[in-house]
Every structure is written in C-alpha cells, then in structure tokens.
C-alpha cells in the first residue's frame, strides 16, 4: 500500500467521523437500511454480557455485571430490624441506585443524575412485584426480628440500557447472598455470630442455621429496545439512546410472565406488532441471561 492509499484511507475515515458527528441520525439510518449497526451488531442482538459474583468482599452478597461497556456493581448488606405491625412475619428490601460522576461525562460532580431516582424506583417495583424474594424467608422471629436487605447499585460506566444492567446485577447479588448467622443472646436480643463460634459450639444454636441462602423464584430480567421508524434495536448504546429517543423496556421472569413494560418517552407510538416483537426479543434475551447467571454461580461454587 502506497503513501497515497494510506492518506486516502485516513481522509475517508475522517469524513465518516465528521458525517457521524454532524448528522448522527442519517449516519445511523444508512446502517439500519442494511440491517446492521455501526458497532457491527445485527439490530436484534445484545452486546456481550458478563456477570462476576462476590465482587465486594465486605458485602453479604455482591455482583459485577457488564453489558457491553455498561457496568454495574451491586452490593447487599443485611441488618436486623423490627418488622412492621402490618407484616410481622416479613423482612424488607431497600434499593438505591447511584450514578457517580465517573460513570458518564453527562453526570456532573455534586449533582445527582436525573435518572438515578427513576431507576431506583423501577428496580424496587420490579424486584418486589416479581416475587423473586419471598419476604417471609427474611423473618427471624415473627413480630420481633426480621432482615432488612439494603441493596446498593453503583453505575461505573453508563453506556446505554442502564436499567437492564442494574437489574441483572441486582438479581446476581441476590443469587450470591449469604445471610449472616445470628443467635439470641441472654437478654433475648438478636446478635451476629461468627462461623468459628458456630463450629466451636461456643454459643446457642443459630436462629437461622438452615436459612442462610434465599430461595429465588420468578427471577426477572429486562431488555430495552429502541423503536425507530420500522426498526427495532435491542440493547442500545448511550449514543443510540441519545439519537433515537423512543425506548421501551420489557421485563419478563424466567417463566416468560410479563413483569413490567416501560415506555418512558419519545414521539413514537408503540404499536402492537412492535410491542410483540420486543417481547419476543426479551424472551430470547431472558434465556441468554439465565444461562450467564447459572454459569457465574457454577464458577463461584468451583472456586
């Protein structure tokens, strides 16, 4: 290849880059007409996804989930509380979603990101309404002591489909959760117990000896899609979300039951066939995510 060819290629690349910046929608539509995206993905394909359990040593359950560049760190801390009089035999879950300035150039230091409380509420609604965690399993002594699970999710890199990655990290953290051993002391208070004390029989029988892992059922997973003209793009990047603004997020559980359907905005009306197509793509995605999580749990057990 001669010098002229190299300089010609560079000039061509600069032209493409300039066109992409000046006319982003036209740039995307040229690709969409060929049923491909600028990152070479087919329209219905999600980005590479990984889950690693036990990412935070000091947490009772934790996970790191990545979808493309979008990265979420979830950590659960368990605390004993007095259950409410309305639900004396149930524990509670409190969920907080954080977007520190490191996650995106759009998030400014010292100012909370607008999406953070919205995603916190969405996560709370989905995790509670799915029935994934049986709240009665979080009860220690009815009316007196139950577990409060504090789930904090930190967005480390916000490159689109934030809710999908946040939910995946939350589900993975609950899969990894190991509930601390607790016992009643002589004053009748619930106190935490070390593994050594249990094994050395230096304390009374732990209250929750047989209940250290949660039984998760109806695990929910999400897929966000962009609707643009006749196209449906699964698992959008931040760039795609900023250019084509009509998003829908479908949440299904592992049995295929619809847990929730969000359409936060955009001018596009979600017509029936598009909704059905999004649900079909989500069904496929749930199977992928379920396998990724099962593999992550198996890897953890091998270690």
19-28, 30-39, 58-67, 241-250 — which one is most confidently predicted on average? Answer: 58-67
Q: Which two tokens stand for residue 94?
A: 């409190």
Residue 23 lies in a domain: no
The closest of 223, 224, 255, 289 to 132, measured between CA atoms, is: 255
Confidence (pLDDT) at 166: 98
pTM of this prediction? Answer: 0.89
User: Per the structure, how many domains does the chain have?
Assistant: 1
Expressed as residue numbers, the domain containing 85 is: 42-199+208-302
Torsion of CA 112, 116, 117, 120, to 10 degrees: -150
Residue 132 lies in a domain: yes
Residue 19 lies in a domain: no
Q: Region 239-260: what's the mean pLDDT?
A: 93
Residue 140 lies in a domain: yes
Confidence (pLDDT) at 6: 46
Residue 47 lies in a domain: yes
Q: Which two tokens stand for residue 229?
A: 């003209």
Task: Read off the pLDDT band of 217 (50, 70, 90).
Answer: very high
pLDDT above 80: residue 199:
no
The residue ranges of DSSP E strands in the chain, in sequence order, are 49-53, 61-67, 70-81, 92-98, 139-141, 145-157, 182-184, 190-192, 220-228, 231-234, 247-253, 258-265
User: Which is more confidently placed, 153 or 181?
Assistant: 153
- HSE-CB at 265 with a 13 A cutoff on CA atoms is 4
Residue 6 lies in a domain: no
Residue 8 lies in a domain: no
Confidence (pLDDT) at 4: 45
| Distance (Å) of CA 187 to CA 183, 193, 278 | 11, 15, 56
Residue 17 lies in a domain: no
Per-residue pLDDT reduced to its tens digit, 53-105: 999 999 999 999 999 999 999 999 999 999 999 999 999 999 999 999 889 88
pLDDT above 90: residue 48:
yes
Residue 268 belongs to domain with CATH number: 3.30.230.70
Please, what is the average pLDDT of the chain?
88
Dmax over CA atoms of the chain, in Å, equals: 86
Per-residue pLDDT reduced to its tens digit, 97-131: 999 988 988 887 777 678 899 999 999 999 999 99
Confidence (pLDDT) at 210: 61
Q: Which two tokens stand for residue 297?
A: 């749990």
Confidence (pLDDT) at 205: 67
Q: Which two tokens stand for residue 32?
A: 């969409």
Q: Which two tokens stand for residue 225?
A: 């899609």
d(CA 186, CA 173): 33
User: Which is more confidently placed, 209 or 64?
Assistant: 64
Q: Region 265-292: what's the mean pLDDT?
A: 87
Which of 64-73, 97-106, 186-195, 288-297 has the weakest average pLDDT? 186-195
**Cα distance from N-terminal residue to C-terminal residue, the chain:** 50
């Amino acid at each position: 290849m001669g010098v002229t060819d190299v300089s010609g290629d560079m000039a061509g690349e600069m032209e493409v880059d300039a066109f992409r910046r000046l006319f982003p929608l036209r740039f995307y539509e040229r690709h969409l007409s060929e049923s491909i995206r600028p990152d070479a993905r087919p329209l219905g394909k999600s980005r590479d996804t990984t889950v690693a359990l036990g990412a935070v040593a000091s947490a009772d359950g934790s996970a790191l989930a990545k979808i493309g560049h979008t990265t979420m760190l979830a950590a659960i801390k368990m605390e004993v509380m007095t259950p409410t009089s309305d639900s004396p035999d149930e524990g509670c879950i409190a969920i907080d979603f954080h977007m520190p300035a490191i996650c995106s150039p759009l998030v400014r230091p010292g100012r909370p990101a607008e999406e953070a409380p919205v995603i916190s509420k969405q996560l709370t609604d989905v995790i509670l309404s799915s029935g994934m965690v049986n709240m009665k399993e979080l009860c220690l002594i009815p009316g007196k002591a139950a577990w409060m699970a504090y789930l904090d999710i930190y967005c480390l890199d916000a490159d689109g489909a934030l809710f999908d990655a946040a939910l995946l990290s939350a589900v993975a953290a609950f899969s990894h959760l190991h509930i601390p051993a607790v016992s009643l002391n002589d004053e009748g208070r619930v106190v935490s117990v070390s593994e050594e004390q249990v094994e050395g029989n230096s304390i009374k029988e732990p209250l929750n000896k047989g209940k250290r892992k949660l039984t998760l059922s109806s695990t929910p997973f999400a897929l966000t899609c962009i609707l643009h003209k006749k196209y449906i793009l699964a698992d959008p990047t931040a760039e795609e979300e900023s250019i084509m603004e009509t998003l829908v997020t479908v949440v299904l559980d592992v049995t295929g039951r619809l847990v929730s359907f969000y359409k936060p905005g955009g001018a596009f009306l979600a017509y029936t066939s598009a909704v059905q197509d999004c649900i079909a793509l989500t069904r496929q995605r749930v199977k992928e995510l379920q396998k990724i999580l099962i593999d992550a749990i198996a890897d953890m057990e091998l270690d």
